[in-house]
């Protein structure tokens, strides 16, 4: 099945960001059964991978729209940036934790391309979202925005967890 970004060839609308527009941009992705399955996977601490992607996508949408970038492609790419299904914290799989940061963008891109018909910006957003850890430079401004937003959201999610749990489960979550 191939799903296309129908908005990619229409002019980007210059107006204030709204939750309604955000939802319409990611509607087909957010309601796809495979993407919905990300709700069953833990991302950084106690939040689901789906909620992490949703949060990265929303912040990306607001910032890219304010900056008059291609906010549609950036938002759709951000929604798919962590589209993988293994537990990166699993100590029992050889090299899982060590290699995860480097290999999951490619896995996410492959999974996304199997279902959605992505444009160049969407692909670059997914593939380069771990930059500068993955050395190859992003090709688009939108990809740089997503790399920063992803790190901001990951940090926020971790501090929210630490505040809530007063550091109790932090070491257990990271297998330390």
The contacts of residue 164 (CB under 8 Å, 6+ apart) are none
154 upstream amide cis, omega within 30 of 0? no
Task: Give the H or E element holding residue 34.
Answer: helix 33-36
Give 9 or 95: the residue with its C-beta nearer to Fe ion. Answer: 95
Give 57 or 115: the residue with its C-beta nearer to Fe ion. Answer: 57
Q: Are 126 and 109 in contact (CB under 8 A)?
A: yes
Instruction: Rule CB under 5 A: say whether 82 interacts with Fe ion.
Output: yes
Stretch that binds Fe ion, among 13-21, 80-88, 117-125, 166-174 (CB under 5 A): 80-88
Please count the other Cβ atoms lying within 10 Å of the Cβ belonging to residue 117. 14
Distance CA 159, CA 154 (A): 9
Instruction: Rule CB under 5 A: say whether 150 interacts with Fe ion.
Output: yes
Closest distance of CB 29 from Fe ion, Å: 15
Stretch that binds Fe ion, among 74-82, 115-123, 155-163, 165-173 (CB under 5 A): 74-82
Instruction: Rule CB under 5 A: say whether 157 interacts with Fe ion.
Output: no
Closest distance of CB 146 from Fe ion, Å: 9
Instruction: Rule CB under 5 A: say whether 142 interacts with Fe ion.
Output: no
Instruction: Rule CB under 5 A: say whether 122 interacts with Fe ion.
Output: no
Closest distance of CB 110 from Fe ion, Å: 14
Torsion 15-17-20-25 (CA) sign: positive
Closest distance of CB 78 from Fe ion, Å: 9
- Please report the DSSP string for 6-19 in residue order: TTTTSPPP-S---H
Positions touching Fe ion (CB under 5 A) are 82, 150
């Amino acid at each position: 099945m191939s799903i296309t970004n129908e908005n990619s060839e229409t002019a980007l609308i210059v107006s204030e960001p709204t939750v309604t527009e955000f939802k319409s941009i990611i509607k087909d992705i957010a309601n796809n059964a495979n993407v919905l399955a990300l709700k069953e996977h833990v991302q950084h601490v106690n939040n689901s991978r789906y909620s992490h992607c949703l949060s990265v996508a929303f912040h990306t949408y607001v910032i890219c729209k304010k900056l008059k970038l291609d906010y549609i492609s950036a938002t759709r790419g951000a929604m798919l940036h962590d589209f993988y299904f293994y537990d990166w914290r699993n100590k029992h799989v050889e090299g899982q934790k060590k290699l995860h940061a480097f290999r999951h963008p490619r896995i996410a891109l492959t999974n996304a391309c199997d279902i959605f018909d992505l444009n160049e910006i969407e692909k670059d957003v997914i593939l380069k979202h771990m930059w500068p850890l993955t050395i190859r430079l992003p090709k688009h401004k939108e990809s740089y925005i997503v790399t920063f937003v992803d790190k901001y959201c990951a940090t926020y999610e971790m501090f929210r967890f630490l505040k809530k749990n007063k550091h109790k489960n932090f070491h257990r979550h990271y297998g330390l």
